[in-house]
Amino acid sequence: MNSDNWQWWQYFLAIAEQGSLSRAADKLAVSQPTLSRQLQAMEAQLGQPLFDRSTQGLSLTDFGQGLLEECQHMQSSAQKLQRLATGQAQTLSGRVRLSANELMALHYLPGLLSRFMQRYPQISLEVEVSNHASNLDKRDADVAIRMFPPTQLDVYCRRLFDIPLGFYASLEYLAQQGEPCDSQSLFQHRILGYDRDPQFEEGARQLGMSVKNEQFLLRTDCLPLQLELAKQHAGIVVSHQTLCEAAGLIKLDVGIELPALPLYLVCHRDVQHNKKIRVLMDFLAETLELK
């Protein structure tokens, strides 16, 4: 009875989640033929197929479906084990994954991380630049810089300062288009909007205004690009005060009080005592304050 091969369950779950051998193979860092054959062996051992094959991928049979849930429990144990294992690491060498959004990554981090690497030359940093919150459970990232409070219970969270926001435009833009003085005139202007990201709509809704992404003529979810566009006189941007002023943009007083963005540093509770992670968080907290 050799079916107690834990690796098989890992394979099974990856295939079930990805819906295809190729994608699962990618994720598991093995080749597709290997996965194909391991799955065959597994099914042979169990005596019945786990998946229905098609040319578009694999879908769970009822039999496989019945195993999925428990296998996910098994996975969460595996993930927890990984976190526990890394959580106890007390060396200042090895890898740490940091997740941040594009604006943070491009405008705040470069100088900081450069200094960090000089101070801790044995630590190898991986920075994931992404607009969506990375999954700390799955260790997609060890540390994340977030602009919103944590929703999970099992994260260790440090709240840093607030980032003041404002409406900004370039001198040249204002010379050409005139300066809006209230919210009425503001919406006559070219405001740089978001593409698919609902955060702008959501923020406006909290201020009691109804705004749709579609209202705006120039839209992108890439915040550094928004900022760059504003510098190139493309329109009015809502962005970090310090960044905009450093870029020579002019603050517009349109009578709308924008809330400040709260800045959080988070990691999973299981890894909060990991020395590397602790050191990175401390460093970021310290040096971000000074910015």
Partner DNA sequence: TTATCGCTATTCATATTTGCATACCCTTTG
Partner DNA sequence: CAAAGGGTATGCAAATATGAATAGCGATAA
Q: What span, in angstroms and rounded, lies between the C-alpha atoms of 89 and 102?
A: 29
In whole angstroms, the minimum distance from the beta carbon of 80 to a second copy comes to 5
Q: How many C-beta neighbours within 10 Å does residue 69 have?
A: 9
- CA 258, 259, 263: angle at the middle one, nearest 5? 135
Stretch of 17-25, 157-165, 184-192, 249-257 contacting DNA, by CB under 7 A: 17-25
- When asked if residue 269 is in the footprint of a second copy (CB under 8 A), the reply is no
Can you tell me which of 13, 14, 16, 39 binds DNA, judged by CB under 7 A? 39
Q: What span, in angstroms and rounded, lies between the C-alpha atoms of 23 and 2?
A: 27
Q: What span, in angstroms and rounded, lies between the C-alpha atoms of 273 and 146?
A: 20
- When asked if residue 34 is in the footprint of DNA (CB under 7 A), the reply is yes
Stretch of 25-33, 92-100, 199-207, 280-288 contacting DNA, by CB under 7 A: 25-33
- Would you call 193 exposed, middle or buried from its count of C-beta atoms within 10 A (0-12, 13-18, 19+)? buried
Q: Coil, strand or helix: which one is 59?
A: strand
Can you tell me which of 17, 23, 150, 264 binds DNA, judged by CB under 7 A? 23
Q: Which does 188 bind (CB under 5 to 8 A by kind): DNA, a second copy, none?
A: none
- When asked if residue 5 is in the footprint of a second copy (CB under 8 A), the reply is yes
- When asked if residue 4 is in the footprint of a second copy (CB under 8 A), the reply is yes
Listed in sequence order, the residues at least 6 apart from 240 whose beta carbon sits closer than 8 Å to its beta carbon are: 103, 107, 163, 164, 165, 261
Listed in sequence order, the residues at least 6 apart from 196 whose beta carbon sits closer than 8 Å to its beta carbon are: 213, 221
- When asked if residue 56 is in the footprint of DNA (CB under 7 A), the reply is yes
Helix (H) or strand (E) segment spanning residue 156: strand 155-163
Binding string, 210-249, against DNA, x = CB under 7 A?
----------------------------------------
Q: Which is nearer to a second copy, 143 or 288 (CB)?
A: 143
- CA 178, 182, 186: angle at the middle one, nearest 5? 55
Q: Which does 67 bind (CB under 5 to 8 A by kind): a second copy, DNA, none?
A: a second copy
Can you tell me which of 10, 17, 20, 258 binds DNA, judged by CB under 7 A? 20
Q: What span, in angstroms and rounded, lies between the C-alpha atoms of 261 and 252?
A: 18
Q: What span, in angstroms and rounded, lies between the C-alpha atoms of 175 and 170?
A: 9
Q: What span, in angstroms and rounded, lies between the C-alpha atoms of 115 and 153?
A: 32
- When asked if residue 90 is in the footprint of DNA (CB under 7 A), the reply is no
Q: Which does 2 bind (CB under 5 to 8 A by kind): DNA, a second copy, none?
A: a second copy
Q: Which does 82 bind (CB under 5 to 8 A by kind): DNA, a second copy, none?
A: a second copy
Q: Which is nearer to DNA, 60 or 243 (CB)?
A: 60
Residues 66-105 that bind a second copy (CB under 8 A): 66-67, 70-71, 73-74, 77-82, 84-86, 88-91, 93-95
CB 99 within 8 A of CB 139: no
Interface residues toward a second copy, by CB under 8 A: 1-7, 9-10, 29, 46-48, 63, 66-67, 70-71, 73-74, 77-82, 84-86, 88-91, 93-95, 139
Interface residues toward DNA, by CB under 7 A: 20-23, 29-34, 36-40, 53-58
